[in-house]
Structure 1
Amino acid sequence: MRFQHVSAGGLATSAVAVNLYVSSYSGIVTSLQLAPSAQGPGIGGYVLTTTASNNGSGPQPSWLTKDSYNDVIYCVDEAFSTPNGTVTAYTTSKSGPLTLIDSQPTVIGPVSTVVYNDGKALAAAHYSGSAATSWTILPSGGLKALQAFIFNLTTPGPNTDRQEAPHPHEVILDPTGSFIIIPDLGADLLRVFSIDPKTSLLTESTPFSAPAGSGLRHGTFLKTESGKTFFFLVSELANTIASYEVTYIGTTGMNFTNVFLSGIYGNRTMPDGAAAAEAVLSPDKKFLLTSSRNATFFNLTNFDKTNSTKIPSDTLQSWAIDHATGELSLKQIAPAGGSFPRQFSVNKAGDLVAVGLQMDGRVVVIERNVVDGTLGDFVANVDVAGQVTSVIWDE
């Protein structure tokens, strides 16, 4: 049973142990457990421990998705040096270890997956493979190949090093469950696919063209209580966060109207080399959290109390959402806990954020104020072998 209490400062504090799963370029999916310590909530109030190391995902696991319809986790392997990637299915357990169900070869370079059509299918974005694929989810949780879309680019984008080809970076399900959206970093397109609910087949619609050189990476939807739908988009190359009001073209397409655009650091000067990364909606839908890599804003006290060396830290940003307009207001720029916060996730209560720090091989857990949306203390951390690519909660 999960329960929480709310302190005077507005922090809801989780009170029971929970599992997390971490992928890294070590070739391992690591099982972690976060549990309250005797000190209670706050600094040192949680203990994060490794409970299992799970092999079988391939040499470079890049993304984990928990299927909310069952206790299956899907892991994709980017597979830099092999002819194809893989997509692997595992069952979870209360104690943490994963059990292999199925592993299937796929187009090279998968970096994101999403379960769609009420748990009947899985879609994947393939960065280096310039592709999107879909899979039927079998009763066992295993997978059967359904479709593959290979994209082409006739003319490279302005950033010729990164935009020499299409590079789909994420697959995102819209609030109606009727469309999948794919930000394409190489082509500067939001690719739109409608879903056939009877067959799970995807049909490509007219894409939305973003400004040249944007380098679209990740995004998330918000449907407000008034019925408006907004889409928030992080662009890696331009280092921007944008809001779009979404309208639907019947059952086949979508329109995106820009209502807000800002640098990922608000009105602060963009650091050289910065690379915007993730966008996550808070559980109460009032705030947006983003991350940026390769730009040290903070130097933190070492998590190892016997080590006096400071930890250079990139950043997370907290934005308040205006539900009437879709505009964002920067609330906070906070330390991420180390280098390259490639991906992070928020627990269901909204009071804890787990951050995967790619270049440090570390996962940190940060307390979050559910009232004002800001991030607080680091409450737990653990080192993980290899470059961390994703971390998810098993709730």
Structure 2
Amino acid sequence: MRHFGILLLTTALGATGSKAINLYAATSDGNLTSLSLTGSDSGNNLTVSITAPLSGVSHEVFTTEAGKRGFATASYNQSAISVIGLGEDGALDEPLQIIRPTLETTGPVISRQDRSYLHQVLVDPKGEYLVMNDLGGDRVRILNWDAENLAPLTELEPLRTDAGSGPRHGVFWKPATSDDLYYFVVGELSQYVYSYKITYTDAGLTWTKIFEIPGLGFENEVPALTSPLSEIALSPDNKFLIVSHRDVSFTNSTKRASGPSDTLSTFAINQDGTLDLLQLAPSGGWSPRHFALNKAGDLLAVGHQTNKTVVIWERDPETGKIVTAEDGGPAAIIELSGAVVCTIWDE
């Protein structure tokens, strides 16, 4: 079954002064689709183009010092990195470069680490590097782009994570009390959440591991590969970190008494980049591949891949805790016809 892996929405100003809204969507069958809605005095025009068969799971738009915009993709199934130029109107060019990463050795989890498996691409907070989590390679790859022409990308020294960790998704975080920068990343395979302090150097980025904690907390650790981590997100106030467990974690969930459900873990973030487990709450279904907080941080939409539901939980922004079923939640349950792999608030 085909599904859309990730969506990006951008705006662009065309040469004639018309404004274009562009939606980029990647599908699991390996296509990148661009839909452009252009408004002008004569009305709106919708164009569709399909290019770059790369089976991408994550994408980012970046801008060079010269003002050129690029579209970077991380592809899981085909283990590929690509960079695509964006026209002034947001139209996709043909790929400028495709890199197929290789590994010196396979990872300890052979079934998932026989080769590189890229799972996410981010732009660092300073807008200087592409940061790509490689689940198969136990590393976070760092690349910079050509300042004038987008490509070629140059790979720098990566963050090498613990063997068998399987870095999947991460977020950058800045404390309120300093100019330090941290990177929180979930190890899908190790089921740990890791905290790294980042330092910018002339050669790229250096990483210092500050802290690690099992996704279910130190008191609830379960055997490897029984509660794989998937999504990670910061609360709007930057004080809390939420991660989801999927696939089989409902068989070991400490909250299983509330019904068959995977688990959402909420951590309070300390100013030194360490984490304190605050709450384990049911996600409301199986395989919460993705979730999203609204802008106010008082609602959490959880998309379940296995039982095809979106469950919306109320959340207390002050305490950081999700309002569980015992206290009156969830706010809504939406049943859909297909696997849910992405949730987005329209606000």
Q: TM-score, normalised by structure 1?
A: 0.75
Q: Secondary structure at the match of 1:359?
A: coil
Taking the TM superposition and a 5 Å limit, the aligned residue runs for 1:282-321 are 282-293=235-246, 294-296=248-250, 297=253, 298-299=255-256, 311-321=259-269
Supply the distance in 1 between the matched residues of 2:37 and 2:267 (Cα, whole angstroms).
33
Deviation at 1:71, TM superposition (A): 4.1
Supply the distance in 1 between the matched residues of 2:11 and 2:240 (Cα, whole angstroms).
22
Given the superposition, is the C-alpha separation of residues 270 and 75 from structure 1 closer, same or farther in structure 2, using an over 3 Å criterion?
A: same
Deviation at 1:132, TM superposition (A): 1.2
Taking the TM superposition and a 5 Å limit, the aligned residue runs for 1:171-210 are 171-201=121-151, 202-210=153-161
Per-residue CA deviation, residues 291-333 of structure 1 (Å, 9 max, x unaligned), is 11121124587xxxxxxxxx5110111111112x110111111
Q: Is the 8 A contact 2:173 2:181 kept in 1?
A: yes
Which residue of the other structure, out of 43, 52, 62, is the alignment partner of 2:5? 62
Supply the distance in 1 between the matched residues of 2:232 and 2:47 (Cα, whole angstroms).
30
Taking the TM superposition and a 5 Å limit, the aligned residue runs for 1:334-349 are 334-349=281-296
1:106 and 2:56 aligned = no
Supply the distance in 1 between the matched residues of 2:276 and 2:167 (Cα, whole angstroms).
21
Q: Is the 8 A contact 2:68 2:150 kept in 1?
A: no
Q: TM-score, normalised by structure 2?
A: 0.84
Per-residue CA deviation, residues 202-231 of structure 1 (Å, 9 max, x unaligned), is 321111111111111110001234210000
Per-residue CA deviation, residues 251-299 of structure 1 (Å, 9 max, x unaligned), is x410110001011101113156211111111222111111111211245
User: Structure 1: which amino acid aligns with 2:164?
Assistant: G
Deviation at 1:142, TM superposition (A): 2.6
User: Structure 2: which amino acid aligns with 1:321?
Assistant: I
Q: Secondary structure at the match of 2:143?
A: strand
1:141 and 2:90 aligned = yes
Q: Secondary structure at the match of 2:273?
A: coil
Q: Which residue of 2 aligns with 1:213?
A: 164
Deviation at 1:196, TM superposition (A): 4.0
Per-residue CA deviation, residues 116-145 of structure 1 (Å, 9 max, x unaligned), is 228922211111111111222223333112
Deviation at 1:163, TM superposition (A): 0.6
Supply the distance in 2 between the matched residues of 1:71 and 1:122 (Cα, whole angstroms).
15
Q: Which residue of 2 aligns with 1:127?
A: 76
User: Structure 2: which amino acid aligns with 1:295?
Assistant: S
Supply the distance in 1 between the matched residues of 2:241 and 2:114 (Cα, whole angstroms).
31
Supply the distance in 2 between the matched residues of 1:281 and 1:158 (Cα, whole angstroms).
30
Which residue of the other structure, out of 57, 65, 78, is the alignment partner of 2:28? 78
Higher mean C-alpha displacement, 238-247 vs 117-126: 117-126
User: Structure 1: which amino acid aligns with 2:322?
Assistant: L
Q: Is the 8 A contact 2:299 2:312 kept in 1?
A: yes
Taking the TM superposition and a 5 Å limit, the aligned residue runs for 1:192-271 are 192-201=142-151, 202-225=153-176, 226-250=178-202, 252-267=203-218, 268-270=220-222
Q: Which residue of 2 aligns with 1:37?
A: none
Q: Secondary structure at the match of 1:312?
A: coil
Q: Secondary structure at the match of 2:306?
A: helix
Given the superposition, is the C-alpha separation of residues 234 and 360 from structure 1 closer, same or farther in structure 2, using an over 3 Å criterion?
A: same
Q: Is the 8 A contact 1:87 1:103 kept in 2?
A: yes
Tell me, which stretches of 5 or more residues in structure 2 are unaligned? 13-19, 39-45, 324-328
1:379 and 2:322 aligned = no
Tell me, which stretches of 5 or more residues in structure 1 are unaligned? 1-24, 26-58, 80-84, 94-98, 302-310
Q: Which residue of 2 aligns with 1:153?
A: 103
Deviation at 1:359, TM superposition (A): 0.2
1:275 and 2:228 aligned = yes
Q: Is the 8 A contact 1:121 1:134 kept in 2?
A: yes
Q: Secondary structure at the match of 2:291?
A: strand
Deviation at 1:91, TM superposition (A): 5.1
Q: Is the 8 A contact 1:359 1:387 kept in 2?
A: yes
Higher-RCO chain (CA-CA 8 Å, sequence separation at least 6) = 1
Supply the distance in 1 between the matched residues of 2:134 and 2:182 (Cα, whole angstroms).
19
Q: Secondary structure at the match of 1:391?
A: coil
Given the superposition, is the C-alpha separation of residues 168 and 197 from structure 1 closer, same or farther in structure 2, using an over 3 Å criterion?
A: same
